[in-house]
Chain A
Amino acid sequence: MSQTVVRMEGIEKHFAGVHALKQCQFDLRAGEVHALVGENGAGKSTMMKVLTGVYQKDEGRIIYHGNEAHIPDTRTAQKLGISMIHQELNLALDLTVAQNIFIGKEPRKAIRLFLDDKEMNRQTAILLKQMNLDIEPTALVSELTVAKQQMVEIIKAISYDSQVMIMDEPTAALSDTEIDELFKMIDQLRAKGVGIVYISHRMAELKRITDRITVMRDGTYIDTVNTAEVSIDRIIAMMVGREIYQPAKPDRQKSNDQEHVFEVRNLNRGKGVKNVSFTLGKGEILGVAGLVGAGRTETARAIFGADPIDSGEIFVHGRKVQINGPHQAVMHGIGYLSEDRKHYGCLLEMDVKTNVALASLGKFTKFFSWMNDKHMASASKKVVEDLKVKTPGIGQMLKNLSGGNQQKVIIGKWLTRDCDILIFDEPTRGIDIGAKSEIYKLLESLAAEGKSIIMISSELPEILRLSHRIIVMCEGRITGELINDDSATQEQIMTYATDRIS
């Protein structure tokens, strides 16, 4: 059980002027789940990329099964038995489960001239059965849920006889039941003697699934501890190296007798949104809880006009409005911050200035739609100062900013546009813990200034910490609404969230 599979020592890595890893170390035993934690930019993924041959270390040693290993590329890592399950899955969606698992090593027949599909499906069925998975080898991967796709990816790694499996945020896209299934699978892998490196931002999971935890910060190794012997608070303190903002519960008096700035009545859209009605008060943070697939994002997108609605009415400041596209939602002062910042939020290859001005370019024109760059620059400088965006300047490309700072820029985009109804979809997804509390503070101060906020979140502590009022969705419907006072608990929300309507 305690035999060391891989040990990394004294790892050094530089990127053009940035010292990414400083004397880092990490070791993994057979049959253990070893968490690697740290804020974004702490060096976790760089460290794992060195192990999987994506990057080459400048200095240091990798000892694999007692011998020093040279890993010049990912293929070598794979041959050694080191696999990585990426956050973005690497599967060919139009191929079957078996074809994906055996890609590049398909069984052949007739002097290797033809593919042996029968044999491939048979072997796949055995692999799937070993892990107690109810998936057809001939099913198309595109027809599987994200959770099942992830399982296929893990099976693929097993088929390479992997002894080291690195999982990068494996639960990010999964619902609670799916997480349970994943953890069962991890237990089985553990029993088989596979060493698992588990990268996650979700602290609660670490307690549940991991044996040891290694903390990294700013490219340095901090410490490795036994999970059973430390508290989550201690881990977080090691990660950030500073105090974390701990707010009181929101000021609940707000949620009484206030004007309704926004109301939705009987909104319907496809299978995702069924008869959704709710109101939003001025200066209120309305938390929207629910499991993945409950229809929360679909509701937000329908309200914002990103997807056409089937039926329903929307009222802004008491007036009924028609929203046939995001450009009309914005005219009514509604801004939407997507859960997927990279694809739907920011222009990564463009600078801070353009991103801040994007929703209100019309405001920054002189004659003949000529751009007033000075005006634009001062507006974005104001955003950078007001929201404390950490950037060397407004000319910096957004892809060079951390997740938290990108999020601030996008908030700034809507504030520049004078939006007073803001829909935040998973506002802290992919944002490290230190920056999370800053985003929380920001949301609270926006509400205090009179902005009305709809906040979708899958993290219940986040919902309970920020919301004045909470609605819970399940299978496209609102199944519960509660005032966030002392009686509101995670258990209560979960009950509503799993409430199946027959």
Chain B
Amino acid sequence: MKTATTVGIQKKQFAFHAGLQQFLAFGSLILLVIFFSIASSNFFHFSNIVGILLSTAVIGVLALGATFIIVTGGIDLSVGTVMTLSAVMTGVFITMWGLPVWVGVIGGLLTGALCGLISGFVIARLGIPPFIATLAMMMIAKGLALVISGTKPIYFTDNEVFMEIALGSVLGDLIPGFDIPNAVLIFFLAAIIGSIVLARTIIGRYNFAIGSNEEATRLSGVDVRKWKIIIYMIAGLFTGLAGVLMASRLNSAQPALGMGYELEAIAAVVIGGTSLNGGKGSIVGTVIGALIMSVLTNGLRIMSVPQEWQTVVVGLVILLAVYADILRRRKA
């Protein structure tokens, strides 16, 4: 039996460690920003910061979806190419079929959601491990994107409205001089919605419960298979959104792009402190993780570090972030 005092101490430690996870990632981000600001006078400029945010938007939205999957203890390797497929489908709807922009956007979102639904079904109903199921989905989506587009990019020529989705600035219209692109705004809005869903709704609760102990959750009378399919579908919705943003930003759907984005998204999630074992993680962490990656590549580029070396540094940062997490856990 524990005395009241020892239990009190344990409780304090617990609260301390939970807070530490967010604090460490956020602290590193601030330190990086300060470091690059001192190292180069070109870094802390409004236009550069906006550039960083814009380059974070697509990977960031992708990483939001990946967070949902990784919290369940799963993995989604298909987000990169499903994003491309969504972009291509948006191009098919708008450019090839001449449908209104909003139909194309919804078509893109639904493409992502449908792919998520299929992955979820294969994983939850057929019992194929997430790694394999989404590896297959990665190939299928890549192939379909190439087939549907005829291996050539689909351009949204002269479609001002579609380009505005990512590169216009609603905020700039409201507040003159505050020209933050819509893509950034959409990223943050998506993050807020994702954060609410994960932290405040029943979907999020089941998400964490499944990641924490899937079998115990099932034996508590939770229809784990149903919820997993729903969770993969939600993640797919984010992937579809990333596809639309990507297409709008490039003003084209590039069927050959996309491979490798899934790993960057996973990296952002992991740097943000979400455990690959499932059961632990947060959207805020993922947003910070994605920002750390863009700040790092942007800052290194400004300091004229060759691109090849930037990649090496990002790799080291991933190791560092996960090792810090392990150290923290060991102490806990």
Q: Which residues of A line the B interface, CB within 8 A?
A: 16-18, 41, 218, 304, 306, 325-327, 329-331, 335-336, 338, 343-350, 354, 357-359, 361-362, 365, 368-371, 390-393, 395-397, 400, 402, 413, 417
Contacts and interface: CB of A to CB of B under 8 A. Distances in A.
Interface of B: 1-2, 4-11, 13-14, 200-206, 208-209, 212-213, 215-223, 279-280
Nearest to B6: A18
Given A349-B279, A350-B212, A396 B11 contact: yes
Tell me the interface secondary structure of chain A in the complex: mixed
A235 to B, nearest CB: 19
A361 B14 CA distance: 24
Contact of A327 (B202, B213, B221, B280): B221
Contact of B208 (A16, A325, A343, A350): A350
6 contacts: A218-B1, A306-B219, A346-B216, A350-B209, A359-B221, A371-B205
Contacts of A390: 1-2
Given A359-B221, A397-B14, A344 B205 contact: no
B220 A359 contact: yes
B201 A369 contact: yes
B201 A347 contact: no
A439 B272 CA distance: 42
Closest 6 CB pairs of A and B: A330-B221, A17-B9, A392-B7, A369-B202, A327-B223, A347-B212
A335 to B, nearest CB: 8
A242 B221 CA distance: 39
B221 A344 contact: no
Contact of B213 (A329, A346, A371, A400): A346
A336 B219 contact: yes
Contacts of B219: 304, 306, 326, 336, 338, 344-345
B199 to A, nearest CB: 9
Nearest to A400: B10
A437 B209 CA distance: 31
A72 B292 CA distance: 40
A343 B6 contact: no
A336 B221 CA distance: 9
Given A41-B1, A396-B14, A397-B14, A361 B216 contact: no
B203 to A, nearest CB: 6
B1, B9, B203: which has the most chain A beta carbons within 10 Å? B1
A407 to B, nearest CB: 13
Contacts of A369: 201-203
B6 A17 contact: yes
Nearest to A362: B202
A358 B200 contact: no
A382 to B, nearest CB: 18
A330 B220 CA distance: 8
B68 to A, nearest CB: 15
Given A325-B223, A344-B219, A361 B202 contact: yes
A423 B75 CA distance: 35
Contact of A343 (B203, B209, B215, B220): B215
Contacts of B208: 350, 354
A390 B1 CA distance: 9
B6 A413 contact: no
Contacts of B223: 325, 327
Nearest to B13: A16
Contacts of B11: 392-393, 395-396
B221 A361 contact: no
Nearest to B213: A347
B9 A343 contact: no
A188 B38 CA distance: 74
A326, A368, A402: which has the most chain B beta carbons within 10 Å? A326
Contact of A361 (B9, B205, B213, B280): B205
A291 B13 CA distance: 43
Contacts of B4: 392
B11, B206, B220: which has the most chain A beta carbons within 10 Å? B220
A114 B212 CA distance: 44
Contact of B217 (A18, A304, A358): A358
B224 to A, nearest CB: 8
Contacts of A413: 220
Nearest to A396: B11
A274 B307 CA distance: 67
A41 B2 contact: yes
Nearest to A368: B201
Contact of A326 (B5, B209, B218): B218
A18, A338, A346, A348: which has the most chain B beta carbons within 10 Å? A18
Contacts of A392: 4, 7-8, 10-11
Nearest to A338: B219
A365 B212 contact: no
Nearest to A359: B220
A327 B222 contact: yes
Nearest to B222: A327
A358 B6 contact: no
Contacts of A395: 11, 14
Contacts of A370: 200-202
B209 A347 contact: yes
A331 B222 CA distance: 10
Contacts of B215: 343-344
Contacts of A345: 216, 219
A304 to B, nearest CB: 7
B222 A358 contact: yes
Contacts of B216: 343-347
A354 B6 contact: no
A371 B200 contact: yes
B212 A16 contact: no
Contacts of A41: 1-2
Nearest to B221: A330
Given A16-B9, A326-B219, A327-B222, 18 more contacts: A18-B2, A18-B9, A41-B2, A304-B219, A306-B219, A326-B220, A329-B221, A346-B216, A350-B209, A354-B208, A392-B8, A392-B11, A395-B11, A396-B7, A396-B11, A400-B10, A400-B14, A413-B220
B217 to A, nearest CB: 7
Nearest to B331: A16
Nearest to B196: A370
Contacts of B220: 326, 330, 358-359, 413
A330 B222 CA distance: 9
Contacts of B202: 361-362, 365, 369-371
A336 B8 CA distance: 32
A38 to B, nearest CB: 12
Given A326-B219, A349-B280, A390-B1, A343 B213 contact: yes
B191 to A, nearest CB: 18
Nearest to A419: B221
B272 to A, nearest CB: 18
Nearest to A218: B1
Contacts of B201: 365, 368-371
A41 B2 CA distance: 8
